[in-house]
Amino acid sequence: MSFRFRVLALVMLVAVSATAATLWLVLRQASQQIDASAVPGSTLDQITGQLVEYGSRHGTWEGVRDVVVRLGKQTGQRIHLVSASGWVLVDTDREANPDRATRRLGTVVRPVNPRPTLDLSAAGGDALGVTAKQLHAYRTGIRYAACLTRNGIEVVQMPGAYGVPTYDIAPDTSPNFRVVQGCQDQAHESPQAYRADENQLASCITSADTQATNYCLAEAFNAGIAGVAPEPAQVIIGVGEEGGPGLVVGPLLAAAAGVAAVAIIATALLSHRVLRPIGILTTASQRLGRGDLSSRVPVRGNDELATLARSFNRMADSLQRGEERQRRLVADVAHELRTPLANLRGYLEALSDGVIEPDPELFASLHEEAVLQQRIVDDLQELALAEAGSLAYHRTPVDLAELLETCRTAHGAGADTAGVSLTVTATPVTVYADPDRLRQVLGNLITNALRATAPGGRVTLTLVREAGSAVVRIVDTGSGIAPDALPHVFDRFWRADSARGRQTGGSGLGLAIVRQILTDHGGSITVTSQLGVGTAFTLTLPVTAG
């Protein structure tokens, strides 16, 4: 079973057990206390009715505190009035005792919506004009009422046509005329605003369906007054008395202890299953860090921990193989450089001691040997950059047929000198690659083929497109490669001759560089050979757009 599934099952078991136990206990006890927070219906109607009347008459919730505090004293309830946007307008407990802890909020919630509802049932065929007129009148009136309220002037609300009220100053007040005039100026809307409302409402007149039209106009009316009308709110009422029965703690603690015990036992078992293999992995990784590359861990099962153990073993194998390759590389480099450097040293010492006389032929030989050593070093550096992914590539669309013909031309003189026929057979195929690096690849392979082919032989380059790939084959009629040597042809410093001679002039790194360049281009290279018949290298490159 997957380790992830086992962890998930454990977490689900604990979560479901805890949730079920808590839910059962809470429901059992809460069902006995629901009536404790009940509020009489008449009290609810009284509170919500007065709050709706205040907001509707004054056009703002400013000043509602006195009304809420008075209602709280009358009913003995905690009244919590909050706007639809979440602002707490008034809370009687905080108003009465700001320094004392407030009582719990009740469970009774009622909406308080002071905004009018437009009734177009009697509008007849002029619903559009009626809506525009009522929208304009309500916005003007509600701004006027809100301004009067902020300035301490009592406002009266009177029923209006189509359910939209009108506002005026209370008849028994003597307000400041300048204040009233200022409120009237502030509430005034221009005729352009009226016409803009009418144009906006005109989009509702889209069909002969009167009911749909009236509904659309009523919704547009609600949207039009949203910016000036008092915001809808809700009132939460309760709890009238403190000290009511609370939850019984004992059963809750017992359930929590049971769930905790199950969680602890399951966690202990799971942690043992997890920590034991992790401890083994930790010990093995420490040995690996100290240089013991033979360190491995046992693999049991098929879960994620087993996958981790397999990955560790593969990593250790890779490190061990890399260490062995590094040792072989150092030995190969030492082998390649020891003899020529000893020769150079011997000749230089002989020249220094006067044992031999300097002549142009000797200096040319020494220079040729130095150039060869420089080539080996350059090839090693290029291969190291390629394997590290640091070799620069400048990719462009490349016509492989044209590139093959260019290589044939470049190596034609050498082929003629060696008495070898060099031919190209190609169909046009375009790849996205670095043309210089591909020319380097083909040049190495053609040079090797010419060296391995006796006079009178032939080297053939072919290019075809197969299954979305460009396939290049370089076939020679040379001496061929022994079957036991084929797996090593792409190794560093490998040469077909066991004596590792230098009569061919190669560094032994060309094919390793070829394989790395093709790998970086998303391609591959394979080789087949038969002694006395010849060798064929097959290059495959993806055909992709640049």
DSSP string, 420-446: -EEEEEE---EEEE-HHHHHHHHHHHH
Taking the model in full, what pTM does it have? 0.40
Q: What's the rounded Cα separation, in Å, for the pair 77 and 224?
A: 36
The pLDDT value given to residue 404: 94
Residues of the chain with pLDDT under 70: 1-8, 28-40, 97-101, 207, 239-252, 270-274, 325, 328-329, 331-337, 339, 368, 372, 375-376, 379-380, 382-391, 492-508, 545-546
The pLDDT value given to residue 71: 87
DSSP 115: S
pLDDT per position as a tens digit, 11-22: 777 777 777 777
pLDDT per position as a tens digit, 338-379: 767 777 788 788 888 888 888 887 787 777 677 767 766 776
Is 318-383 CATH 1.10.540.10?
Answer: no
On whether the CB atoms of residues 113 and 49 are closer than 8 A, the answer is no
The pLDDT value given to residue 240: 47
Domain ranges of the chain: 1-39+248-317, 40-237, 318-383, 393-542
Distance of CA 355 to the CA centre of its chain: 75
Q: What's the rounded Cα separation, in Å, for the pair 380 and 352?
A: 32
The pLDDT value given to residue 472: 96
The pLDDT value given to residue 1: 52
Task: Find, among 442, 446, 449, 460, the residue nearest to 541 by Cα.
Answer: 442
The pLDDT value given to residue 431: 94
The pLDDT value given to residue 4: 59
Three-state helix/strand/coil letters over 258-314: HHHHHHHHHHHHHHHHHHHHHHHHHHHHHHHHCCCCCCCCCCCCCCHHHHHHHHHHH
Taking CA atoms, 29 is separated from 23, 26, 162, 250, 252, in Å, by 10, 5, 50, 12, 11
The pLDDT value given to residue 501: 46
For domain 393-542, give the fold.
Heat Shock Protein 90 (3.30.565)
First to last CA, the chain: 46
395 SS3 class: coil
Assess whether the region 318-383 and the region 393-542 belong to the same CATH fold: no
The pLDDT value given to residue 503: 44
